[in-house]
Amino acid sequence: MPRKPPPAGHILYELGRLIARSRASRGLSQRDFATLIGVGATTQQYYESGLRDPGIDMLIRIAHQCDLPLSTFIAPLDRFDVPLREKRGKA
């Protein structure tokens, strides 16, 4: 059964839209962009649909390939109140 994307307004939905707009502004297909950032086309589709969190390392690659500062992808997400995950194991 296919996974359902998060609703509009969800942090991953909004991040995916930012990634998609940035890629499209470069005139690249999802497949071509996926190749540039070193992931499969399905993974790239998941990033853009909000089904997968790209993580900071991937956001750095995405920003680099779009010739944009990393803050393009981080700053708009400041409006979300996302709790930090607590580290597991010994403190």
State pLDDT tens for residues 34-80: 999 999 999 999 999 999 999 999 999 999 999 999 988 887 767 66
Model confidence band, residue 3 (pLDDT cutoffs 50, 70, 90): confident
- Concatenated DSSP letters of 27-76: T--HHHHHHHHTS-HHHHHHHHHTSS--HHHHHHHHHHHTT--THHHHGG
Domains and CATH numbers, the chain: 11-79 (1.10.260.40)
Residue 71: CB atoms within 10 Å: 10
Indicate if the pLDDT at residue 23 is higher than 50.
yes
**What are phi and psi for residue 4, nearest 5 degrees?**
-95, 130
Who has greater pLDDT, 32 or 13? 32
pTM: 0.79
Who has greater pLDDT, 85 or 14? 14
Model confidence band, residue 81 (pLDDT cutoffs 50, 70, 90): low
